[in-house]
Amino acid sequence: MKELKESGVAKNIGFTTEDNNDDVVYRFINSGDFDFIQICYNLLFQQPYEPSRPFGSLLEAEKKGLVRRFAV
């Protein structure tokens, strides 16, 4: 994926995860190699963002600029 981005074939690269607290997810977020992350988050699956806990993959991704919010 990095080669595709560097060659101009892909403008952005990212990854998808359903895991909120996996070390691999944090390594991907902190690597600087990705432009976005897609996290499973909906009415029934709200673990990636829990306001009462100041941690989690969604918050870490947001700190690194990998999260964009969309209005529906």
DSSP 8-class letter at 48: T
Handedness of CA 8, 5, 35, 12 (dihedral sign): positive
pLDDT in tens, 47-60: 666 667 677 777 78
Alpha carbons 11 and 50: distance in angstroms, whole number: 31
Cβ count within 10 A of residue 57: 24
What residue ranges do the domains of the chain occupy? 2-63
Distance separating alpha carbons of residues 38 and 67, to the nearest angstrom: 8
Q: CA-to-CA distance for 34 and 25, rounded, in angstroms?
A: 11
Per-residue pLDDT tens digits for 18-28: 776 678 888 99
